[in-house]
Amino acid sequence: MLHRLLILTFLFTLFSGMTTPENERVIEVVNFEQLQQVLGSDSEHILVVNFWATWCLPCVAELPVFAELEEESAERNIRVLLVSLDFADQLNERLIPFVEKNGIRSEVMLLNEPDANKWIPQVDKTWSGAIPATLVLYKGKQTFYEGSIDKERLNKLIKTVLK
């Protein structure tokens, strides 16, 4: 009996220090059809979607603009969605560690859609496919900006869909 008690105590001590999956950041991997469903499903919020990647220096440089917007989101009725264009096979080795290291609190999805020529014009007909790129949606209206964005330009985009 003492032997079993010692084993149970050892196992409890061993497993009590382990992290649970619920403590880990979950980033959903989606195809374009799934992303379209997300983009079309939120009619209550101004949806700000940024297309970016961890390997894109201008993308990384503008992330604080979206972090600041995320902090204001509740009072401004805004939802921020960061759509990563990183490679799906680098989700656990690159994207999740990057998001955790940089304290990104916004919702992050990884778009795994190999035929960019098919889905890029569906986001916006003027988009060349270069990143960073930002899409703002609200109640059937949308505006799009290709290139690095600052807070002033982002607020202009938001105001455009509110008119």
Q: What is the DSSP letter of 20?
A: P
- Averaged pLDDT score across all residues of the chain: 87
Residue 9 clears pLDDT 60, i.e. is over it: no
pLDDT per residue as tens digits for the range 35-60: 999 998 877 889 999 999 999 999 99
CA angle 31, 33, 36 (to 5 degrees): 110
Residue 55 confidence (pLDDT): 97
CA angle 30, 133, 126 (to 5 degrees): 100
Q: Which fold has domain 30-162?
A: Glutaredoxin (3.40.30)
Contacts 24+ apart (CB under 8 A), 104-107: 104/63, 104/67, 105/67, 105/70, 106/66, 106/67, 106/70, 106/80, 106/81, 106/82, 107/79, 107/80, 107/81, 107/82
Which residue ranges make up each domain of the chain?
A: 30-162
Instruction: Report how far apart, in Å, the C-alpha atoms of 27 and of each of 104, 109, 133 are.
Output: 12, 5, 20
Residue 99 clears pLDDT 70, i.e. is over it: yes
Measured from the Cβ of residue 132, the count of other Cβ atoms closer than 10 Å reads 24
